[in-house]
A and B are shown apart, each in its own frame.
Chain A
């Protein structure tokens, strides 16, 4: 396993937010994480990268990535891991690039971090190769550009180039296409898939868009309010969702399976409860259409079929 997490809990100012997350990613695998904004997806990413902001703390029974115990990692280990075997790309590529530095400075910085004693000239050559790899035309001219001179899609390609500079074993993609046009979105997903096939890296693709996850992930886990509520093979989960929340997500997709979009889109009633709020029983209960007396008990993840890896946090 490239990434193995057991009972990860994240607390904001001491209040539990993410609760007992257990999951793993195998080499070369793409794990999709889907859930509404504010369900704790990004916080999980930050915990995995050791970048949680002040006041947010993580604890776990086990958290290992690329053979390193993240629970014991010191700041030096973190730095080696971040620019090495683990890399991350972000939601808004325009603000994720430093407006004051040229693409060359930002890209060679990543290259030099990976290859310590490399000369400026060969770092530049490597940067050109990376730009070419992520499909940027006129790479040498682009090196001199500043971020404000780029389009969103181009900026995300450059973020990807920076991330894969160290040939990571695991790439965490935090909503990489959310801020982009739909056409660009497809190109970026395709690029990530190409790179993954070339390098065999594993990926954790986080999105609130189940369509994106369906396109690129092998397995999916659905998060709701700080918990995993369903997990399994992507095709199976989307074809026959078990948890009422997953059903809602899938049903809310317009024009699924080539159907004509309905005139009114399906929604999930109610709104997400704040992630730090304590709830008795199932956290989805207040929005669920199928509640009964079982739902006041905190639900656990249960196998849904005898001989598959699918699990759901619902008794139905």
Chain B
């Protein structure tokens, strides 16, 4: 039974990725703008030179042939070469991926640590002043436009209070060799600590603070609201009454019996948020804070109509989404063993 589930999942993944590759390939070609013109300049271009450039980029072939070539290459792990930089796309993306993940994970951590307890408090003391305050703040958090919020934070903390830097991942004073690519980890490497002490780590943390906070705002609000509604539902369940009837303290009843069961929808939302925060959040936030991650790279590539980079990025994001979903399903089963049984039926 497990094997058939595995096989079914694998087929699902394959179809998903096929769809993603189709979208990635054709959408960008349907969009207006011509990479050849952008490269050789629009005005006064020589038709001969244009043809030469197009042939060099492989754009003179029929679309279908181009697509098949793309898929064949992708299956061999070759996602092509950036039109702009002439570097391997995969290397360019892999170099930027850790920065994006570091930012996204930090943002999501902030959102979880603040949002989930806030939601639990709102549910346990429902219709109280605390509940009202938490829900009001979360509505604001959810409605704030990210680009505006990022700028407000910069105005307050960087320009007004002068406690955080405005852009980048670390001060240029520090020369940090990428080991994992995660700045918070790399600045704690023995040789870095030997050279700079913990000031490099501090600098990395200060650089991370504002973009992470900017990115955390929407997920924080969503976590608080989801947790609240999920907890409210669970708190009226029979087994919560049983736990109370056993004489357990309210603390145990809430955290051991109710919260664990309330986690399933929270994790579902968390997974979706992780994907949307890391990807869409990254595009805005990384642009505002000049964060050298995948989001900003995609934006710049779209401006340059850098087809190979755009295709590859979308494909990688697709794979990332599939991986996150698989992970979430594993977590479900770990939390509630009845889940695995239900989905197998």
Q: If A95-B238, A148-B341 touch, does A81 touch B335 (CB 8 Å cutoff)?
A: no
With both chains docked as a complex, state the minimum distance between the C-beta of B256 and any C-beta of chain A, in angstroms.
Answer: 8
Whether B239 pairs with A81 at a CB distance below 8 angstroms is no
Which residues of the other chain, A, contact B247 by a CB distance below 8 angstroms? Answer: 78-84, 113, 166
| Stretch of A86-94, A196-204, A223-231, A260-268 at the chain-chain interface | A86-94
Contact bitstring B216-230, A, C-beta under 8 A = 1, else 0: 000000000000000
Q: If A98-B261, A99-B261 touch, does A90 touch B242 (CB 8 Å cutoff)?
A: yes
Say yes or no: is A71 at the interface (Cβ < 8 Å to chain B).
Answer: no
Which residues of the other chain, A, contact B250 by a CB distance below 8 angstroms? Answer: 75
Which residues of the other chain, B, contact A147 by a CB distance below 8 angstroms? Answer: 338
Within 240-254 of B, Cβ neighbours of A (below 8 Å) are at 241-250
Say yes or no: is A252 at the interface (Cβ < 8 Å to chain B).
Answer: no
Whether A92 pairs with B246 at a CB distance below 8 angstroms is no
CA distance A51 to B248 in the complex (A): 12
Say yes or no: is B77 at the interface (Cβ < 8 Å to chain A).
Answer: no
Say yes or no: is B260 at the interface (Cβ < 8 Å to chain A).
Answer: yes
CA distance A166 to B243 in the complex (A): 14
Say yes or no: is B199 at the interface (Cβ < 8 Å to chain A).
Answer: no
Say yes or no: is A49 at the interface (Cβ < 8 Å to chain B).
Answer: yes
Which residues of the other chain, B, contact A92 by a CB distance below 8 angstroms? Answer: 238
Whether A99 pairs with B246 at a CB distance below 8 angstroms is no
Nearest-neighbor residue (CB-CB) of A166 within chain B: B247
Within 116-145 of A, Cβ neighbours of B (below 8 Å) are at none
CA distance A148 to B239 in the complex (A): 13
CA distance A49 to B246 in the complex (A): 10
Say yes or no: is A306 at the interface (Cβ < 8 Å to chain B).
Answer: no
With both chains docked as a complex, state the minimum distance between the C-beta of A173 and any C-beta of chain B, in angstroms.
Answer: 12
Q: If A51-B244, A51-B245, A88-B245 touch, does A101 touch B260 (CB 8 Å cutoff)?
A: yes
Whether A113 pairs with B242 at a CB distance below 8 angstroms is no
| B238, B247, B249 interface centre (most CB from chain A within 10 Å) | B247
Which residues of the other chain, A, contact B249 by a CB distance below 8 angstroms? Answer: 79
CA distance A150 to B72 in the complex (A): 51
Which residues of the other chain, B, contact A88 by a CB distance below 8 angstroms? Answer: 245
With both chains docked as a complex, state the minimum distance between the C-beta of B237 and any C-beta of chain A, in angstroms.
Answer: 7
Which residues of the other chain, B, contact A26 by a CB distance below 8 angstroms? Answer: none
Which residues of the other chain, B, contact A51 by a CB distance below 8 angstroms? Answer: 241, 244-245
Whether B245 pairs with A87 at a CB distance below 8 angstroms is yes
Whether B248 pairs with A83 at a CB distance below 8 angstroms is yes
With both chains docked as a complex, state the minimum distance between the C-beta of B24 and any C-beta of chain A, in angstroms.
Answer: 40
Within 143-174 of A, Cβ neighbours of B (below 8 Å) are at 146-148, 159, 162, 166
Q: How large is the interface on A (under 10, 10 to 19, 20 to 34, 35 or more residues)?
A: 20 to 34
Whether B243 pairs with A98 at a CB distance below 8 angstroms is yes
Q: If A79-B247, A79-B248 touch, does A146 touch B338 (CB 8 Å cutoff)?
A: yes
Nearest-neighbor residue (CB-CB) of A147 within chain B: B338
Contact bitstring A244-273, B, C-beta under 8 A = 1, else 0: 000000000000000000000000000000
CA distance A159 to B238 in the complex (A): 12
Whether A96 pairs with B341 at a CB distance below 8 angstroms is no
With both chains docked as a complex, state the minimum distance between the C-beta of A279 and any C-beta of chain B, in angstroms.
Answer: 30
Which residues of the other chain, B, contact A66 by a CB distance below 8 angstroms? Answer: none
Task: Please pick, from A82, A87, A95, A166, the residue contacting B244 in the complex, using a CB distance under 8 A.
Answer: A82
Whether B248 pairs with A96 at a CB distance below 8 angstroms is no
Whether B238 pairs with A90 at a CB distance below 8 angstroms is yes
Q: If A80-B247, A83-B247 touch, does A96 touch B242 (CB 8 Å cutoff)?
A: yes
CA distance A78 to B244 in the complex (A): 10
Nearest-neighbor residue (CB-CB) of B126 within chain A: A54
CA distance A161 to B244 in the complex (A): 16
Task: Please pick, from A53, A78, A84, A148, the residue contacting B338 in the complex, using a CB distance under 8 A.
Answer: A148
Say yes or no: is A109 at the interface (Cβ < 8 Å to chain B).
Answer: yes
Whether B238 pairs with A96 at a CB distance below 8 angstroms is yes
Task: Please pick, from B236, B245, B260, the residue contacting A100 in the complex, using a CB distance under 8 A.
Answer: B260
Say yes or no: is B336 at the interface (Cβ < 8 Å to chain A).
Answer: yes
Whether A95 pairs with B336 at a CB distance below 8 angstroms is no
Say yes or no: is B337 at the interface (Cβ < 8 Å to chain A).
Answer: yes
Q: If A82-B244, A109-B248 touch, does A99 touch B341 (CB 8 Å cutoff)?
A: no
Which residues of the other chain, A, contact B338 by a CB distance below 8 angstroms? Answer: 99, 146-148
CA distance A146 to B337 in the complex (A): 7
CA distance A113 to B244 in the complex (A): 12
Whether B248 pairs with A95 at a CB distance below 8 angstroms is no
Which residues of the other chain, A, contact B341 by a CB distance below 8 angstroms? Answer: 148
With both chains docked as a complex, state the minimum distance between the C-beta of B342 and any C-beta of chain A, in angstroms.
Answer: 9
Whether B337 pairs with A148 at a CB distance below 8 angstroms is yes
Nearest-neighbor residue (CB-CB) of B236 within chain A: A53
Contact sample, A vs B, 21 pairs, CB 8 Å cutoff: A53-B236, A81-B247, A82-B245, A82-B246, A83-B246, A84-B247, A90-B242, A99-B239, A99-B261, A99-B336, A99-B338, A100-B260, A101-B256, A101-B257, A101-B260, A110-B246, A113-B246, A146-B337, A148-B337, A148-B338, A162-B246
Task: Name the 7 nearest CB pairs between A and B, nearest first.
Answer: A83-B247, A82-B247, A95-B238, A148-B338, A98-B239, A79-B247, A96-B238
Additional A-B contact list (18), CB under 8 Å, known A90-B241, A98-B257, A100-B260: A51-B245, A53-B236, A75-B250, A79-B249, A82-B244, A82-B245, A83-B248, A88-B245, A95-B239, A97-B239, A98-B261, A99-B338, A101-B256, A109-B246, A146-B338, A148-B341, A162-B242, A162-B246
Which positions in A face B, CB cutoff 8 Å?
A: 49, 51, 53, 75, 78-84, 87-88, 90, 92, 95-101, 109-110, 113, 146-148, 159, 162, 166
Which positions in B face A, CB cutoff 8 Å?
A: 236-239, 241-250, 256-257, 260-261, 335-338, 341
